[in-house]
Amino acid sequence: MQWRYFALLCCAMRGYASQSEWNRYLQRPGVEHEEFAQRYAENAMTDLRRSGAVPFDRKMDGDTLLAEGLSLEDFQPEPESG
């Protein structure tokens, strides 16, 4: 359910948070919510890197991820096509 709060915050920040728009968003399949969150995060990181606010690469702590029962593959960027 955390994605709902994330999506609401994103929509509110962009001025899209009217009740009817929010209700339409919530009726979409969960997969679309996850895709939105992923796109938003990728776009935000691109903007932050471009502006110099995030000048460093991501540091992965594989041992901690595995200890938490998470899969390392879920945290690797997808290869760029092209």
pLDDT, residue 2, reads: 60
Provide the whole-model pTM. Answer: 0.45
Q: For 8-48, how does the pLDDT look when each residue is reduced to its tens digit (9 = 90+)?
A: 666 666 665 667 777 777 788 888 878 887 888 888 888 88
CA–CA separation, 20 and 34 (whole Å): 20
pLDDT at res. 1: 45
Q: How far apart are CA 40 and CA 79, in angstroms?
A: 18
| Dihedral angle of Cα 76, 42, 40, 53, to the nearest 10 degrees | 120
Query: For residues 42, 44, 32 and 16, what is the CA-based torsion angle, rounded to 10 degrees?
Result: -170
The pLDDT, as a whole number, for residue 13 is 62
